């Protein structure tokens, strides 16, 4: 029997399943989770009952209603999804320690020696699915992939959904993977697929035949080398992520599609970006703001600043570069770029009290809700700036608080 080293867990239609678990009248019905309940919004998660009709992530509300007239639209509830996320994580850890939480609905576990044989790995996967159902809710299902490394385990978790339990053994490589299209692989976007095709690679089988140097050339660097090794079952440690920026973007609620509303939304997005930046212990030296309208009017402004992580300082910079020349704004984006880790920033003794004050504000918002304390500039957007759940990593700030 072969040995498996990693287990990857992917929750099925997570946001929609959370709503169905929490609201029994939604169970068995087509459900779509949207950022806001307006016709210009789009679906961020669809239940399997809705997917049958062709509704998927990115489908517009109007189109989803045409595809599935009986669909129920539910406004996203980030607090609910985070709560279920922590419950699921704790349930999984009753079976095996979680090595890494990759996103709100994905996690990976390294198997111990006494769990690495095939029959042991399969039983562990079944135990995890059962524990989540028993302890968290039977509408919260997951697909599990087991493979020699986390990358292939993630791919295996997509083999069967929902409630899948799939295995890739070393002896299965590479033949078991040949049925996958290039874009079935996580990390190969449409753009990356074009690069493969330009190199004469159209199938997974052809990709496996590439040499080490060919993969590096197509990917344009060391990423290709990592891929070559991971495709063959090697466990390749990934380098630490280097932060380039912190930002937020929002399609404005209809009530905010005015000049004043857009400005308030911009201030609120900036507050949130600054809070995230402080949590990850960074400072910024550049602020970029963009506003656009339905008819493709747009402006982008940026300003360089002395190194800062202070919200007041950033709001002052925002006021300096804001432009009020779009009558009906539709979307606002804010980005804090050119960032430096705190350890590389010389401290300012005169700003120490402000730093302590913002840490306390962040802690209060972490414990009691993201809009417990907002600045006056962002106050008009408070009720129309629902908190977003990122599909990427879930910041620990949402779980813990500096207040204890």
- Six-digit token pair at 400? 């813990």
Given the structure tokens 């300082």, which residue do they identify?
313
Which positions are catalytic? 106
Please give the chain's pLDDT, 404 residues, in tens.
445 689 999 999 999 999 999 999 999 999 999 988 888 889 999 999 999 999 999 999 999 999 999 999 999 998 899 899 999 999 999 999 999 998 899 999 999 877 778 888 999 999 999 999 999 999 999 999 999 999 999 999 999 999 999 999 999 999 999 999 999 999 999 999 999 999 999 999 999 999 999 999 999 999 999 999 999 999 988 766 667 889 988 888 888 899 999 999 999 999 989 988 888 889 999 999 999 998 889 999 999 999 999 888 899 999 999 998 898 999 999 999 999 998 887 765 445 556 666 666 666 666 555 556 666 665 556 555 555 554 454 544 333 332 22
State the pLDDT at residue 255. Answer: 87
Rounded Cα–Cα distance for residues 379 and 221 (Å): 46
- Six-digit token pair at 44? 């961020």
Q: Where in the chain is the domain with CATH 1.10.150.20?
A: 173-239
Fold classification of 245-398 is Dna Ligase; domain 1 (3.30.1490)
State the pLDDT at residue 41. Answer: 86
How far is the CA of 64 from the CAs of 174, 351, 355, 376, in angstroms?
38, 51, 46, 37
Q: Where in the chain is the domain with CATH 3.30.70.270?
A: 1-169
Rounded Cα–Cα distance for residues 329 and 349 (Å): 40
Given the structure tokens 């562990």, which residue do they identify?
124
In degrees, rounded to 5, the angle at the alpha carbon of residue 119 between the alpha carbons of residues 175 and 106 is: 70
Task: Note if the pTM is more than 0.85.
Answer: no
Tell me yes or no: is domain 173-239 CATH 3.40.50.150: no
Strand-by-strand arrangement of the 31-34 sheet: 45-46, 31-34, 72-75
Rounded Cα–Cα distance for residues 328 and 341 (Å): 38
> Which secondary structure element, helix H or strand E, spans residue 74, and what is its range?
strand 72-75
State the pLDDT at residue 360. Answer: 65
How far is the CA of 22 from the CAs of 312, 348, 389, in angstroms?
39, 48, 17
State the pLDDT at residue 195. Answer: 95
State the pLDDT at residue 355. Answer: 60
The sign of the dihedral angle between the CA atoms of 195, 200, 205, 208 is negative
Asked if 68 and 27 touch (Cβ cutoff 8 Å), the reply is no
Tell me yes or no: is domain 1-169 CATH 3.30.70.270: yes
Strand partners, 31: 72
Strand partners, 337: 245, 286
Q: Where in the chain is the domain with CATH 3.30.1490.100?
A: 245-398
State the pLDDT at residue 212. Answer: 93
Neighbours of 401 (CB within 10 A): 14
Rounded Cα–Cα distance for residues 32 and 73 (Å): 5
State the pLDDT at residue 404. Answer: 28
State the pLDDT at residue 296. Answer: 81
Rounded Cα–Cα distance for residues 130 and 347 (Å): 51
């Amino acid at each position: 029997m072969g040995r498996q080293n990693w287990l990857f867990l992917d929750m099925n239609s997570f946001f929609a399943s959370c709503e169905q678990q929490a609201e029994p009248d939604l169970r068995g019905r087509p459900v779509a989770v949207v950022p806001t309940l307006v016709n210009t919004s789009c679906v961020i998660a669809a239940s399997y009952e809705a997917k049958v009709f062709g509704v998927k992530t990115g489908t517009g509300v109007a189109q989803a209603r045409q595809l599935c007239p009986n669909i129920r639209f539910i406004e996203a509830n980030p607090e609910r999804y985070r709560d279920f996320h922590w419950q699921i994580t704790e349930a999984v850890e009753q079976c095996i320690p979680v090595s890494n939480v990759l996103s709100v609905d994905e996690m990976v576990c390294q198997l111990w020696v006494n769990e690495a044989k095939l029959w042991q790995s399969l039983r562990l996967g079944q135990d995890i699915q059962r524990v989540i159902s028993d302890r968290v809710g039977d509408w919260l299902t997951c697909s599990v992939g087991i493979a020699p490394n986390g990358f292939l385990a993630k791919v295996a978790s997509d083999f069967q959904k929902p409630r899948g339990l799939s295995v890739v053994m070393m002896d299965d490589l590479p033949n078991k993977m040949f049925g996958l299209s290039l874009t079935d692989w996580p990390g190969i976007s449409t753009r990356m697929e074009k690069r493969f095709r330009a190199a004469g690679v159209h199938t997974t089988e052809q990709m496996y035949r590439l040499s080490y140097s060919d993969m590096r050339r197509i990917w344009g660097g060391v990423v290709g080398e990592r891929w070559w090794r991971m495709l063959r079952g090697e466990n390749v440690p990934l380098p630490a992520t280097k932060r380039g920026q912190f930002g937020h973007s929002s399609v404005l609620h209809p009530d905010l599609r005015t000049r004043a509303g857009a400005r308030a939304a911009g201030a609120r997005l900036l507050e949130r970006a600054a809070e995230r930046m402080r949590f990850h212990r960074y400072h910024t030296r550049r602020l970029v703001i963009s506003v656009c309208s339905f008819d493709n009017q747009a402006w982008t402004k940026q300003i360089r600043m002395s190194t800062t992580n202070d919200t007041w300082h950033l709001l002052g910079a925002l006021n300096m570069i804001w432009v009020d020349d779009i009558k009906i704004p539709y979307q606002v984006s804010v980005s804090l770029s050119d960032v430096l880790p705190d350890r590389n920033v010389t401290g300012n003794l005169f700003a120490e009290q402000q730093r302590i004050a913002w840490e306390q504000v962040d802690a209060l918002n972490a414990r009691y809700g993201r809009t417990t304390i907002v600045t006056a500039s962002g106050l008009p957007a408070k009720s129309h700036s629902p908190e977003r759940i990122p599909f990427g990593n879930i910041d620990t700030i949402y779980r813990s608080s500096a207040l204890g």
